[in-house]
Each structure stands twice: as C-alpha cells, then as structure tokens.
Structure 1
Amino acid sequence: MAVTALLERTHSFGQSKWSWFLLALSSTGLTCAALYFQHVLDLQPCIKCIYQRTAVLGILLAALIPLIVNTFATRLLALLIWGYSAFEGLMASRAHLEIIFAENPFFMVCDIVPNFPSFMPLHEWLPSIFAATGDCDENSWQFLGMGMASWLQVIFIAHLVVLIWVFISLFFKPKQSA
C-alpha cells in the first residue's frame, strides 16, 4: 500500500509546474556545469560530449513545455521528449565509455564534426556550446573514481528510472477523501 500511496503522490506532484521546474533546474545545472568545465577548466568536449550535452538540453526543452502550458497533452509530450533525450544521452555516454575503455583505442573512431540535421547545424550557430574540440578518449577529470562519461551514464539512467516512475504514476490518481 505504501507504493500505491507514493505513486498517488507522484501523480499529483507530476501535474504541478513545480515538478517540471525542478527538472528544468537540474538540466540547467548540468548544462552550466558542462560549460564551466569547458570554458573555465579548459576541458574541451568531444563529439560524444556534445551529443550528451544536446540530450541534456532536450530534457530541458521537455521540462519547459509544461511550464508554459500545463495540460495532460503537454505533459505527455514532455514525457516523450524527456524519455527520448535521456535514452539518446545514455546511448551517447555508453558509446563514449566504449571509446575510453577500448582495448585497442586505435580502432575506435570518433568524429570531429557533429552530425546534427542540416536544418539545425547547432555547431555552426553556437560553436562555443556545440563545437567538438576535444578527444573522445580524454578521461582526466575524475570524481569518486569515475570520469565524466561514467557520471553522465548514471545521470541518464537516473532520468530514465524517474521517468518510468512518473509514467507509471499517471495511472494512480489520488483517491478523493470523503
């Protein structure tokens, strides 16, 4: 019964703008941290870093939708964008880790120019944010024994777990008190 009660509370909280504000705030914080690492600590992002950064910005975009218009349809659209972005970010972080920990790094290929759609060349429009200027096998920054790609994998998995919980909570409307 405790799980049901928690799902009911999550359902109510997920409908509030406050929940979407927290998601936007966390994505903004991650983006600011990435820009701090790049422009202050001079840790240049590789192509996989740029894809992960784009995924975090996709989560931010998802959070902004219900903040502007908070309806069931916009929340559902936001959940879809959030899920897609978190999944793509997870795939980029996993690919990044494969390059970093490859047994023979000479056979691992890392592009230099991002493969953004031709109608949206973010690396040309905002090169200080989306240009890949680093090497994919760079892993010098460490925190608690894990590098940035490892931490981003954890972050994207956490996003997917929370997203699944929020999605399940859609089916647990709070009971009306008598």
Structure 2
Amino acid sequence: MASTQPWRLWLVLAAGTTGIGLGTVLMTDILRLDPCHLCIFQRLLMLVLGTLAMGAALSTKWRAPSLAFGTLAILTALAGAATAAHQSWIQLQPVGEISCAAAQPGLIEIFVERLGELAPSLFLATGFCDDDDFRILGLTLANWSFVCFGIAAIATSWALRQSLRHTDARAAAIITPKV
C-alpha cells in the first residue's frame, strides 16, 4: 500500500486553515459581526497554523525542519482549541457574570490591540467574548472554532507522523546499499 505524500497533507492543511482564517475576515465584514479579542486571537492562530503547515509542506524532505514545523503546528492547533474552549465556556456562563473585558487587559488583549492598530481590517476587536447571539446549526462561532482546531490538531498530528515516516524511509534508502 502506497503511503500518502506528506507534502500533500500539509498543503491541504495550509489551504484549509488559511481559508478558515481569511473566511472569518469575510464573514465579519459581510455579516457585520463584532469580533472580540479571543475571536481575533483565534483568527490569528488559524492563519499562523496555515503558515506553519505551508512551511512543513515545503520541508518534508528534511527531518529536522519537518519536525519543527509540525510540532509548532500541533502546538498552535492546541492553543487555538484551548482559546476556543475558553471562549465557549465564557459563553455558557450566566449573562454578565464573566466577560473577557476585565479591568486589566491580559496578554492576549494587549497583543490583539497592537495588531488592531497595525491592521484594523484583520485584527480590530470590537465585540465581547460572551456574546453568543450568532449561531450556525445551533453552535456559536467559538464552538465551531473549537471543532476546527480539534480537527486541525488531529490532522496535523497525522501529517507530522507521515512526514517523519517519509523522512525515515528516505534516510533508510540512502543508507542501505543496493545489491
């Protein structure tokens, strides 16, 4: 049975995650949504994940870069899932009890504010994390983000495993003398 070419897996991941990240920009504009700091951070993580997957696609011939890009991609997907899970949890709380708009901004809020100053069309946060009015098939956008990051984490783990198998097979072919 022929193994799947790892670069193709990474390319699909890069296209999918970048498409989701850019799709959130379009959805925000078309539907006139007000994304919060956590929404924007998840958008950024999705775009970073796409960039890392592209890096992995371009480096599948070499073990060290493939391992580095793949590991960073998995960590990014897990960070995105954790952020989406946190926002989903905030949205489950009674209205007005918990919000992301605290008296002292955290690291994510400060980071997103800086990005919003640099590129407002991509990263300007204008909403609140506990706002769950917009739903698709009964799920909030934070819920959908969790699902997407979860799928991306699983797919990224699989792609990394395929990449490492591929580089191990290439190394074995180079070392093993042909008779």
Partner of 1:76: 67
Distance in 2 separating the partners of 1:24 and 1:164 = 14
Q: How far 1:28 moved relative to its partner?
A: 2.0
The TM-score normalised by the length of structure 1 is 0.78
Contact 2:90-2:98 within 8 A present in 1 as well: yes
Alignment of 1:17-166 (within 5 A): 18-70=8-60, 71-102=62-93, 104-111=94-101, 114-116=109-111, 121-166=114-159
Shift >4 Å, 4+ stretches: 67-70, 171-176
Counterpart residue type for residue 120 of structure 2 = P
> Aligned partners of 2:38 and 2:80: how far apart in 1?
9
Residues 98 and 130 in structure 2, CA contact (< 8 A), matched pair in contact too = no
Q: Is the 8 A contact 2:70 2:157 kept in 1?
A: no
| Match of residue 9 from structure 1 | 3
Distance in structure 1 (CA, Å) of the matches to 2:120 and 2:36? 13
| Letter aligned with residue 13 of structure 2 | L
Q: 2:17 touches 2:50 (CA, 8 Å); kept in 1?
A: yes
Change in Cα spacing, 1:158 to 1:45, as seen in structure 2 (3 Å) is same
Q: 1:100–1:136: 8 Å Cα contact kept in structure 2?
A: yes
1:9 Cα shift?
Answer: 1.6
TM-superposed deviation, 1:69: 4.6
3-state secondary structure, aligned to 1:105: coil
Q: Which runs of 5+ in 1 are unaligned?
A: none
For 2:33 and 2:70, the matched residues in 1 are separated by: 32
Measured on the aligned residues, the alpha-carbon RMSD in Å equals: 2.7
CA apart distance, 1:68: 4.7
Q: State the AA in 2 paired with 1:126.
A: A
Aligned residues: 164
- CA 1:168–1:64 in 2, change beyond 3 Å: closer, same or farther? closer
Classify 1:166/1:69 alpha carbon distance in 2 versus 1 (closer, same or farther; 3 Å).
closer
**CA-CA distance at 1:122 after TM superposition:** 1.7
Distance (whole Å) between structure 2 residues aligned to residue 168 and residue 138 of structure 1? 38
Tell whether the 8 Å contact from 1:99 to 1:105 is kept in structure 2 after alignment.
Answer: no
